Amino acid sequence: MTIITSKYRTDTTRRFVDDVYSNDYYLFISSVSNTTFSNTNDSKLTFLEKTLFGKQILPENVFYMIKNHIWVTGTVYEQYDDKQEISNKKYYAVVYPQNNETGDYKIYKCLFNNYGEPSTNPPNYNTSTPNQVYEMPDGYVWKYLYTISVSDFDKYNSRGYIPIFLSEANSSVSDTSSVDQIFVENPAENSGYEKVLGTIDEVLGGTQNTVTIIPSAAGTLSAIENYYSGYTFYVTNAINESQVYEVDKYVFNPSTGKAIITLVEGIPVDGVLVNSAGFILLPRVEIRGDGTGAVAIPNVSTNGVITSITILNKGSGYTRAVARVPDPFAFDPTTLNSLDERVILRPVISTPGGHGSDLVDELSCRHVLLYTEITQNDNLLIPTTNEYRSVGVVRNPDFKVFPYPTVFDNRIEVALDTNPFFVNETVTQIETSNTSSIFFNETRFSAKVHAVSGNFAYLAEYSGPFPNDVGTYANNDFSDISLDATLPLVSSLNQLVTINIDNNPSYGSGYSSTYPGFKLSPYIQRTGEVYYISQFPPITRTANAREQYKIVLEF
């Protein structure tokens, strides 16, 4: 069996995003013609030759993307589990504005799903919630991860995917792994545990580790000496401050109905262990591992079943842990016909660094959004007529100018003596030779007329088999196309049209050189690595056109 881990995929995704920051990526808009592309070198070169215009994809418009798992009441969400493969499951949820009362989108990770029950209460964000962990009335536990504003959601969501905003991520994360949850593996089978509620009657002695306790009206204390030794003594004072202690010795006084408890020393009192404070006597949850500080208490039902475990302190530095409840006094599940059944606990270790510390890994990110848009200002520099049928992502194209343009028009502007051309016709140049040793009559240049304006024609989708190494105006800047200023253009009706080399069109700034009769594209033809091509029905451009391009790549 071969396993490609989710870490491999997320790291591959990271490398691509890093590459966008280190190199030049452009969106190329191509193809007036109805051309079919494939994953071949010839097809990729054809796509580049048919490029009409392009725009740079800025690194700040590149986003990690995850599936948009919308929180819907009645849905069972997968809980995070370090022993289960969850990368393709719904283990996080996007709570929409109408459900979270904050006016934006909140992303939460499910830490506990109440043993597979449906979720009916969305977490509602509150800045004062401790550690941004939300324990809901339906039993679910959620960890807040990050926020997406309404405007950013509308702008960047695409085809069921939403962006990760690392800058909006939850800052309340630990810098190390911890005991995130302790699952009860047999909640329906364990039994024989008990809890006692009551109040502290009096704190005795100067060390404050001995107290007398009174059970609640419904509670009963055992008369057996040291019956609760090893139990957890969970105390909460009048201002809801809580602390966990361990019982060392226990003596019951039947004449008063009270008991004296001596606690294991070493736990600070901190104003919690005081007269009239409430307490719960509970079986002790013992956590051992390679970290420190994890503390938990069991939730014991009235019929003696440990239904779940509440983590009071997740601790730190854990990569491995085990948990158990030491058998209470007179608890012997090995005895024949015993009603006592041991609880089976399984600790779950958080993701490295804690939940929310690495959203790309935690959310199993395998998708990246490349976003760009054509603005009103862009339309002053690129074609606003005709159609296009494909877009592509090109890495490191070369240009004749520096710095590289953010937006470029890849058409050739040609000044003509007369202009009989019409839009979308194909024009050519013919290379002719007639000598005693050789005769040929070959097409050296071909292009599609993309637009006409007066005596100017705008040529696109141009190609030719020869470099421009002949002709009066040939030089290296002009060698990436086969157009020759000294030869006429031939229309689709076989009309010969002379290029007006005496005309001086407005070339604009930023070009390395100009040619009589021409304005050239700054792009060097057929350069760059084609990473992506998408084809679709034709899209018409106008002066008022505004396009958003959202390309989601999967790794």
Domain count, the chain: 4
Structure confidence by residue, pLDDT tens digits, 193-209: 999 999 999 998 655 68
Tell me, what's the pLDDT at 269? 65
Tell me, what's the pLDDT at 103? 86
* Angle at 205 (CA atoms; ends 200, 208), nearest 5 degrees: 60
- Are 140 and 224 part of one and the same domain? no
Question: Does a structural domain hold residue 186?
Answer: no
Question: Does a structural domain hold residue 75?
Answer: yes
Q: Which residues contact 155 (CB under 8 A, 6 or more apart)?
A: 371, 548
What is the 8-class DSSP label of residue 530? E
Model confidence at 479, in pLDDT bands (50, 70, 90)?
A: low
Of 318, 228, 213, the closest CA to residue 273 belongs to 213
- Are 89 and 166 part of one and the same domain? yes
- Are 358 and 381 part of one and the same domain? no
Structure-token pair, residue 429 = 């140049």
Question: Does a structural domain hold residue 191?
Answer: no
Domain with residue 147: its CATH number is 2.170.290
103 versus 164: the higher-pLDDT residue is: 164
Q: Read off the pLDDT of each residue in 82-100 and give the average, rounded to a whole number.
A: 92
Structure confidence by residue, pLDDT tens digits, 26-59: 999 999 888 899 999 999 999 999 999 999 999 9
- Are 149 and 87 part of one and the same domain? yes
Quote the mean pLDDT of the chain. 89
- Are 54 and 100 part of one and the same domain? no
The residues that bridge with 188 in the sheet, in sequence order, are none
Tell me, what's the pLDDT at 515? 53
Q: Which residues contact 366 (CB under 8 A, 6 or more apart)?
A: 6, 9, 10, 13, 554, 555
Question: Does a structural domain hold residue 8?
Answer: yes
- Are 273 and 201 part of one and the same domain? yes
Question: Does a structural domain hold residue 18?
Answer: yes
Residue 509 scores a pLDDT above 50: no
Model confidence at 141, in pLDDT bands (50, 70, 90)?
A: very high
Tell me, what's the pLDDT at 542? 93
Please, are residues 233 and 263 in contact by the beta-carbon 8 Å criterion? yes
Q: How far apart are CA 471 and CA 484, in angstroms?
A: 6
Domain with residue 542: its CATH number is 2.60.340.10
Question: Does a structural domain hold residue 188?
Answer: no
Tell me, what's the pLDDT at 353? 84
pTM: 0.84
429 versus 516: the higher-pLDDT residue is: 429
Please, are residues 64 and 367 in contact by the beta-carbon 8 Å criterion? yes
Q: How far apart are CA 487 and CA 447, in angstroms?
A: 14
Structure confidence by residue, pLDDT tens digits, 421-452: 999 999 999 877 655 555 457 788 899 999 99
**Residue type for 223, please?**
A
Question: Does a structural domain hold residue 185?
Answer: no
- Are 406 and 416 part of one and the same domain? no
- Are 404 and 417 part of one and the same domain? no
Tell me, what's the pLDDT at 474? 43
Question: Does a structural domain hold residue 187?
Answer: no
- Are 392 and 538 part of one and the same domain? yes
Backbone angles phi, psi at 244, to 5 degrees: -105, 130
Structure confidence by residue, pLDDT tens digits, 320-333: 999 999 999 889 88
- Are 468 and 433 part of one and the same domain? yes
Residue that the structure tokens 């307490």 belong to:
279
Residue that the structure tokens 């599936």 belong to:
67
Structure confidence by residue, pLDDT tens digits, 256-311: 999 999 999 877 667 888 899 999 999 999 999 999 999 999 999 999 999 999 99
Structure confidence by residue, pLDDT tens digits, 397-429: 999 888 999 999 999 998 888 899 999 999 999
Model confidence at 513, in pLDDT bands (50, 70, 90)?
A: very low
Structure-token pair, residue 53 = 């215009």
Tell me, what's the pLDDT at 506? 46
Q: How far apart are CA 345 and CA 190, in angstroms?
A: 11
Model confidence at 464, in pLDDT bands (50, 70, 90)?
A: confident
Model confidence at 64, in pLDDT bands (50, 70, 90)?
A: very high
- Are 128 and 204 part of one and the same domain? no
Please, are residues 138 and 119 in contact by the beta-carbon 8 Å criterion? yes
Q: Read off the pLDDT of each residue in 535-552 and give the average, rounded to a whole number.
A: 93
Give the residue numbers spanning the domain of 39.
1-64+369-410+521-555
Handedness of CA 86, 87, 88, 91 (dihedral sign): positive
Tell me, what's the pLDDT at 101? 76
Model confidence at 476, in pLDDT bands (50, 70, 90)?
A: very low
The b/e string for 130-168 (b: 16+ C-beta within 10 A; e otherwise) is: eebbbebeebbbbbbbbbbeeebbebbbbeebbbbbeeb
- Are 272 and 344 part of one and the same domain? yes
Tell me, what's the pLDDT at 472? 42
Residue 9 scores a pLDDT above 50: yes
Tell me, what's the pLDDT at 56? 98
